[in-house]
Structure 1
Amino acid sequence: MIVKFDSAAKAEFDETLLWYGQQSFEAALRFSAEIDAAIRKIADEPKRFSRTLAKCQRCELIRFPYSVIFFAIAGKIRIVAIAHHKRRPGYWRRRV
């Protein structure tokens, strides 16, 4: 499946990776690896993830308080947010 990040989602990933990198290089590596693993899971089985109120789907990370918010349409995955669980809930809805 083709996976594409919206520019805002890519910016969120970059910002979060930078923040973790300032805390610990190892934490940044773990965060990046967990995002990669989540994207692989999404690409392999997008239907397994629950829908949100905005009709997107959500894949929660295991070790970090973030979710990958995405749409699966016609064999393509569109990632609309890398959303922190406690910051501005639902802010990404305006992107869909």
Structure 2
Amino acid sequence: MSAFDEAMDKVCQSPDRFRVEFQPDVRKFRVPGFPYNILYRLVGREVEVLVVAPHRRRPGYWLGRL
């Protein structure tokens, strides 16, 4: 949980820093030391977390849920 908290702190401090990986405007941050990505988008000035996805298991399974 502390790794996730630290990752979210980085995302919230500079959400524009990370590149758009999927449309519409979905950005990805890889959680250091763990096999998970945080996928999020900006809604106004807020960060909306869409999914915390594993790197290997069923990649992209969540795309249909956007």
Answer whether TM exceeds 0.5 for this pair.
yes
Following superposition, the deviation at residue 52 of structure 1 comes to: 1.2
- Report the counterpart of residue 82 of structure 1 in structure 2: 52
- Report the counterpart of residue 38 of structure 2 in structure 1: 68
Higher helix fraction (1 or 2) = 1
Which segments of 5 or more consecutive residues in structure 2 lack a partner in the other structure? none
Structure 1 runs, 4 residues or longer, greater than 4 Å off: none
Contact 1:71-1:79 at 8 Å conserved across structures: yes
- Report the counterpart of residue 49 of structure 1 in structure 2: 18
Give the fraction of aligned pairs with identical amino acids, expressed as a percent. 28
**Please, what TM-score do these two structures have when normalized by structure 2?**
0.89
Number of equivalenced pairs: 65
Q: Distance in 2 between matches of 1:53 and 1:70?
A: 10
RMSD across aligned positions (CA): 1.0
1:34 equivalent to 2:3? Answer yes
Structure of larger gyration radius: 1
**Please, what TM-score do these two structures have when normalized by structure 1?**
0.63
Higher relative contact order (CA 8 A, sep 6+): 1
Q: Distance in 1 between matches of 2:65 and 2:50?
A: 7
- Report the counterpart of residue 22 of structure 1 in structure 2: none
Which segments of 5 or more consecutive residues in structure 1 lack a partner in the other structure? 1-31
